[in-house]
Structure 1
Amino acid sequence: MSVENTSMTTEYDYSFFYEYNETCPPDDLSSVKDFKQVFLTPLYSLVFILGFIGNALVVCVLVKHRNQSNLTDICLFNLALSDLLFIFTLPFYSHYVRVSRWIFGDFMCRLISGSHQTGFFSSIFFMVVMTLDRYMIIVHAHRVARYRTMRAAIILTVFVWMLSLFVSLPDFIFTEAMKNDSDSQRFECDYPQNSTVWERYDLFTVNVLGLVIPLLVMVGCYSRIIPTLVTMRTTKKHRIVKLIICIVVVFFLLWAPYNISRFLKFLQDRNIIPSDHTWYKNVRMSITVTEAFAYTHCCLNPIIYAFVGQKFMRRALQLLKKLVPGYSRGLSDSSFRRSSVMSRSSEVTSTNVM
């Protein structure tokens, strides 16, 4: 982060975990800062509440039925844990946005930044694993069925978490709580000053590992899965095809705008593209908005990957029936049994896809 003239205030873009060089007067960016305080704080709170409820329910259901778990269930369990790790960091950044300073100290700066990145990457990586698992079990079922063992699932889970931790290590090691250049009483949580190496590293990992590669895997695998499903004799194939398309579209629509906005900002900071005051402010505003909507993906994961599956939905209803008296009073035992019988015919397909 560079030091500007004394008549200018360095505005810290605390939402994006990397520094930038200020080229705009503070008046031009004050509206962006005010928008963050008004927009991000309640949205982070909403994402935290909805994400915690949905992912915690996924964890509870899968723990309760752990003796019946397969590779898909283990991936769902770890995906929910990844999202929980991610959303637990949001209250800290919500406070950071609201007061415009980091008050939690250097250790928490490193821990929260690293946990945030670990939760982000592990969530993406487990979605990729689930996509590859669907592809193998549907397109090459006769070859891989015997390899989908509990031991293989545990090894794969450990590998994904270690990979996520490794990619996020710079945030654990190099981020720090440091004084603001213009206000010695105000601390920021960021990479060290003038650390362009880690700025580029962060941009590369988030764009390539967090968007480009996962999207290519999803498109490639699902383009093979859909024709195979269409030829299957199941009444649920149209619902499953629509669900697959929904998974790819939602992932792209939520994450692509954020990554594109960050890349545009990187080009601005390197003077590769024009950076007049209006364009500069608009790009930073777009990062704020697109980042907030991208973070809502952790709320949608339980709906997309878990609650749409009939087997999982049946288990969730049974758990809620025990935990919340009167929750399923409107569901008669006969209707619940009838729904269970109807879903058994497609349970194998639903399990493989979900």
Structure 2
Amino acid sequence: MSGENVTENTTMYDYSSYFTDYEDYGPKNYSDVRKFIQVFLATLYSLVFILGFIGNALVVCVLVKHRNQSNLTDICLFNLALSDLLFVFTLPFYSHYARVGQWTFGDFMCRLISGSHQTGFFSSIFFMVAMTLDRYMIIVHAHRVARYRTMRAAIILTVLVWMLSLFVSLPDFIFIEETEDSHGLECDYPQESKVWERYDLFTINVLGLVIPLLVMVGCYSRIIPTLVTMRTTKKHRIVKLIICIVVVFFFLWAPYNISRFLKYLQERKIIPSDHTWYKNVRMSVTVTQAFAYTHCCLNPIIYAFVGEKFMRRALQLLKKLVPGYGRDLSDSTFGRSTVMSRSSEVTSTFIM
């Protein structure tokens, strides 16, 4: 196969190439692969959209209802849910893109959806990092930073994170466009702007995985020993939550980032690009990408619904929205542990 046929775009959105490039090897051998990708992506993206919308919308509603009792943790959680909502709102478009094999929504929507997708992705990651740093400071350096955790600080942090996310995503708003080739319409970088594909790969790997993972491991490795020495009845639960946060983040995003990097190496002919490697790497990118996107469904569970206070608020809201639901539930249904002083502050930071 020639270099032209092997080369494929490295953007997150070039779904049509998953189908058209396989045709170079013969439809008899790869028709089953194309059908799998079409059904798999369309189905999983639709499922992620439904679950992600329900979970994150409930988080937003609960936090808005109790906005007068909000703290820095609540503000970060609220913006994390907004980020995930922005992310999942783009998935129906990509589900359709994957199913039909070409972009059908026009140039404006191509830029808007691509940029919004990236902005939602990066803001979600950045707010998770902000929550990690906040937990580290309030637990390891509680006496120094407690007075700085004000509403004003939360607003400043929120504005900075959204501005940074938008800035990192600007190339998608500016340079991605609806393009046409022999296989139909695509939503991709044009040939003269292909340099931004390497930028896209770099930012997603470095800002989307490496730096957040290093921050999580570094902060939580200091937090856990501090927690163990505290006299709180929930320290073991908090440690398990910490481990869950890091493990889920790594195992959902690392395979996708590794697959994209392998595809980049393959396109540069640094690793083999025969038909077997070609098929396996493309399939790996497709599958790992779809599962990585499920992280936006898990964020409400990991960061909100594991908490007693938040769960109590959510059930109270559902009880008002759905008559008869949670009729027998009361605050006493949940734990009554009220360890005071620093331990209670630490507990409320993790277990909302």
Q: TM-score with structure 1 length normalisation? A: 0.91
> Structure 2: where are the runs of 5+ without partners?
none
Taking a change above 3 Å as real, the CA distance of residues 90 and 294 of structure 1, as seen in their structure-2 partners, is same
> C-alpha deviations, 1:313-347, integer Å up to 9, x for none?
11111111111112113x35xxx232356154475
Instruction: Work out whether residues 41 and 95 of structure 1, in 8 Å CA contact, stay in contact via their aligned partners in 2.
Output: yes
What root-mean-square deviation, in Å, do the aligned CA atoms of Structure 1 and Structure 2 show?
A: 2.4
Shift of 1:35: 1.7
Q: What is residue 350 of structure 1 aligned with on the other side? A: 347
- Aligned mates of 1:287, 1:202 — CA distance in 2: 15
Instruction: Work out whether residues 17 and 191 of structure 1, in 8 Å CA contact, stay in contact via their aligned partners in 2.
Output: no
The letter of the residue matching 1:227 is P
- Confirm or deny that 1:337 pairs with 2:324: no
Taking a change above 3 Å as real, the CA distance of residues 221 and 30 of structure 1, as seen in their structure-2 partners, is same
- Confirm or deny that 1:192 pairs with 2:186: no
Aligned runs of 1:155-304 on 2, under 5 Å? 155-180=156-181, 182-183=182-183, 186-193=184-191, 195-304=193-302
Aligned runs of 1:79-228 on 2, under 5 Å? 79-180=80-181, 182-183=182-183, 186-193=184-191, 195-228=193-226
Comparing 107-116 with 316-325, which one deviates more in the overlay?
316-325
Q: What is residue 25 of structure 2 aligned with on the other side? A: 25
Q: Percent of pairs identical after alignment?
A: 80
Shift of 1:72: 0.2
Taking a change above 3 Å as real, the CA distance of residues 343 and 94 of structure 1, as seen in their structure-2 partners, is farther
> C-alpha deviations, 1:180-229, integer Å up to 9, x for none?
2x14xx21100112533111100000000000000000000000000000
Taking a change above 3 Å as real, the CA distance of residues 142 and 217 of structure 1, as seen in their structure-2 partners, is same
Comparing 12-21 with 309-318, which one deviates more in the overlay?
12-21
3-state SS, counterpart of residue 338 of structure 1: helix
Shift of 1:9: 11
Taking a change above 3 Å as real, the CA distance of residues 101 and 349 of structure 1, as seen in their structure-2 partners, is same
- Aligned mates of 1:108, 1:65 — CA distance in 2: 35
> C-alpha deviations, 1:214-253, integer Å up to 9, x for none?
0000000000000000001011000000000000000000
Shift of 1:353: 2.1
Aligned length: 343
> C-alpha deviations, 1:108-149, integer Å up to 9, x for none?
000000000000000000000000000000000000000001
Taking a change above 3 Å as real, the CA distance of residues 168 and 82 of structure 1, as seen in their structure-2 partners, is same
The letter of the residue matching 2:87 is F
